[in-house]
Amino acid sequence: MQLPLLRQLQKRKWIIEMSKYKIADMRLAAAADFGRNGKRVADIGTDHASLPIYLVGNGFSPYAVACDINIGPLNAAKHNIASAKLSDKIDVLLTDGLNGVDSYLPEDIYILGMGGELILRIIDESEYTRKSGVRLILQPMTHANDLRSGLYSNGFDIVDETLVRDRDRVYQIIVAEFDGVKRSATDVELWLGKKNIKKGGSDLNNIAGVYARALKKKIDGCANSGSVDPETVSLYEQFKLLSESMEMGNDCT
């Protein structure tokens, strides 16, 4: 069970500070929180292997495979893994998406820092993501709504999610597992996440306001050309209403 937000943040900062192997930022730390102790890990688009080194080096995971489509980042990952003296517990794999990853038998699969549409393509192209016991920990940089929509329509349950502020940006982290049940959601739920809306908080208010302002700008631009999309207007009004209701709730506390 997830801890209340303040305690989550305090725990996360404490773990980062006390860990032998450090992690780069709060975004990665938040994603790492959703990993299950003792599970084998795959990090897709690993870059410098910061996440696998953190998880394996601190004993959260017994083994990881660090994957990337480009040789440069993978060489950097290999160097960092060797420097951390973890080459016997972390392999590297040059691959596109999840191709060939199934042979490493990962149980927790991280796909972080990519566009939501690309993350969805990677998931769709791999039957392994539908295997019982496999957890997907996802962090879309864009198109979180398309990612959630694709997950729901393809039989994945979003078992948990969170919003995390790192520097001046709020990131969405989505945790999904396949159960074969197709689900539906409103447009606002696809953009923000059902569980995030239920949890509430200042980060939800912030990101709802960001979306509302972006949609208002789009509506104003379309109005100048005389072609305003009613669905865009409806979505804007829902975001605006959610943001305003949360601000009123904060004023009453």
46 is a domain residue: yes
CA distances from 145 to 9, 39, 174, 188 (A): 25, 28, 11, 8
| Number of domains within the chain | 2
For residues 64 and 153, membership in a common domain is answered with yes
Q: Residue 108 in 3-state DSSP?
A: strand
For residues 181 and 225, membership in a common domain is answered with no
Buried/exposed code over 161-200 (b: 16+ C-beta within 10 A; e: otherwise): bbbbbeeeebbbbbbbbbeeeebebeebbbbbbbbbbebe
Per-residue model confidence as pLDDT tens digits over 32-58 = 999 999 999 999 999 899 999 999 999
For residues 128 and 231, membership in a common domain is answered with no
**Whether pLDDT at 1 is above 50:** no
Rounded to whole angstroms, the Cα distance separating 98 from 147 reads 17
Q: Residue 49 in 3-state DSSP?
A: coil
Domain extent for 191: 5-195
For residues 183 and 218, membership in a common domain is answered with no
The predicted model scores a pTM of 0.87
Query: Structure tokens of 124?
Result: 């769709």
Per-residue model confidence as pLDDT tens digits over 164-202 = 998 888 999 999 999 999 999 999 999 999 999 999 888
156: domain CATH number is 3.40.50.150
Residue 155: CA count within 13 A, CB half-sphere: 11
Query: Structure tokens of 3?
Result: 């801890």
What is the pLDDT, as a whole number, of residue 8? 52
Q: Where are the alpha helices (DSSP H) in the chain?
A: 5-18, 26-33, 50-57, 71-83, 116-124, 144-153, 187-192, 194-199, 202-225, 230-251
**Whether pLDDT at 221 is above 90:** no
What is the pLDDT, as a whole number, of residue 168? 84
217 is a domain residue: yes
201 is a domain residue: no
Least confident of 124-138, 172-186, 235-249: 235-249
For residues 189 and 211, membership in a common domain is answered with no
Residue 202 or 86, more confident: 86
